[in-house]
Amino acid sequence: MHKKGESLEDLKYLLGFMGIEILYAISKGAKDFETIKLFSGLPLSCIKGRIPVLFDLNLISKNNYNEYCLTSKGIKFKNRMLK
Q: What is the phi-psi region of residue 5: left when phi exceeds 0, alpha when psi lies from -120 to 50, beta otherwise?
A: left
Confidence of residue 6 (pLDDT cuts 50, 70, 90): confident
**Domain regions of the chain by residue span:** 8-81
pLDDT score at 5: 52
Per-residue pLDDT of 34-75, as tens digits, reads 999 999 999 999 999 999 999 999 999 999 999 999 999 999
Question: Is the pLDDT at 4 greater than 70, yes or no?
Answer: no
Residue type, 47: I
Q: Which CATH number fits domain 8-81: 2.60.120.640, 1.10.3080.10, 3.40.50.150, 1.10.10.10?
A: 1.10.10.10
Question: Is the pLDDT at 1 greater than 70, yes or no?
Answer: no
CA distance 64 to 50: 21
What 3-state class would DSSP assign to 79? helix
Mean pLDDT of 16-34: 97
CB distance 69 to 63 below 8 Å? yes
